[in-house]
Amino acid sequence: MSRGDRAEISVTVRDSSGGEISAPALVKIYRNGVFSDQGATRKGRAFFILNGVGEYSVAVSAPGYEATQKEVSVPVALKSEVDIVLKRLANANETSGVPGKPVLAPKAQEAFDKGLRALGADKLKDADKYVSETMRLAPGHPDVLYLQGVLDLKRRNFADAQAALEKATQIDPTHAHAFAALGMALSDQGRYDAAIPPLEQSLKLDPKSGYETHWTLAKAYYHHQQYDDAVKESRVALDGSNGKAPEIELLVAQSLTAAGKYDEAGQTLRDFIKNHGDRPEAATARRWLERLTADGKLAKQ
């Protein structure tokens, strides 16, 4: 896309030595806390044409590195250069990526980037075209299998997503994003016991993974009757969402109730109603609060 008179963010991702990382990193752009765009780096760099000036967040993650985020102010329609340094995880290999993991050829990388952008924009028809092209060019690459799995997830083809993501994690056992997506595919099939190990592995590989992984793991814990764990993970997810998904607070209350912590559950529901009374979920919160009171779990107020 031609920039014209629009603002642009140029992101350079480096390792602790100062060199540009060779492994693909996923870069997500948020504007005022709302997702805007995403793409994979090529030779440590990624470029984004912005829809307008304002306050942006640049979040970067890569297998084997700690995820990080940087705030960027874009006051005028010019290019903003952003340098981000990723710290390697303590248990990661010293070499970038997975030993023997092939590098995508230029045409495959280009199709991969376009597919990733299309998925981020929920343009599934375009994503299908680019993912199919990438699969044709590099069918055994773990990043490509991950992309196929995410597309299947968005299309709600959960069994197909599971198959692609299982293969991705077998080829690349350090692919935190693939483990997270695999856990989501299993959870969406109601296989909560099977979803827990890959979700836990994703967070082990990438402790600063996005709140969605913690949220999915909290739901899996809840359905697996690990209520204390569900409380802990749902609270981490709620804090990590930075207000983007306040409905997670209902899972916190649900988990607290199942754990027998009724007073905390009641206060959580009251806080949700107070702060988000205009949301559709507020009716559910009121109904749960009334039920806890009627059952004698909470004192009438």
Q: Could you list the pLDDT tens digit for every one of the 301 residues in the chain?
A: 444 567 899 999 988 878 888 777 888 888 766 777 888 888 889 888 888 888 888 888 887 788 888 888 888 888 889 999 988 876 544 434 444 456 677 888 899 999 988 988 889 999 999 999 999 988 888 899 999 999 999 999 999 999 999 999 988 888 999 999 999 999 999 999 999 999 999 999 988 888 999 999 999 999 999 999 999 999 999 999 988 899 999 999 999 999 999 999 999 999 999 999 999 999 999 999 999 999 998 887 6
pLDDT at 259: 96
**Does 116 reside within a domain?**
yes
Taken in order 214, 217, 222, 226, the sign of the CA dihedral is negative
| Same domain flag for 116 and 199 | yes
Domain count of the fold of the chain: 3
**Does 155 reside within a domain?**
yes
**Does 4 reside within a domain?**
no
pTM of the model: 0.68
| Same domain flag for 125 and 195 | yes
pLDDT at 287: 95
pLDDT at 33: 63
Q: Containing domain of residue 274, as a range? A: 214-294
pLDDT at 54: 85
- For residue 38 the two structure tokens come to 């995403």
DSSP 173-199: TT-HHHHHHHHHHHHHTT-HHHHHHHH
d(CA 110, CA 198): 29
Last residue in a domain, options 97, 130, 153: 97
pLDDT digits 0-9 by tens, 153-185:
999 999 999 999 999 998 888 899 999 999 999
| Same domain flag for 186 and 220 | no
pLDDT at 266: 95
pLDDT at 229: 96
pLDDT at 155: 94
